[in-house]
Amino acid sequence: MDTSVKRRRSWRVEAKRKIAQESFEGNASVAELSQKYAVNANQIFHWRKQYREGRLGDHGSSRLLPVTVSREIVVETASPPSLPGESATGTLQMELAKGKLRIAGSVDLGVLRAVLECLVG
pLDDT tens by residue, 45-60: 999 999 988 888 765 5
Give pTM, 2 decimals. 0.46
In this predicted structure, what is the pLDDT of residue 94? 74
CB 94, CB 100: distance < 8 Å: yes
What CA–CA distance (Å, rounded) separates 10 from 55?
17
Higher-confidence position of 21 and 4: 21
- What is the domain partition of the chain in residue ranges? 13-52, 91-120
Of 28, 103, 60, the C-alpha closest to 115 is: 103
pLDDT tens by residue, 91-117: 777 777 767 777 777 777 777 777 777
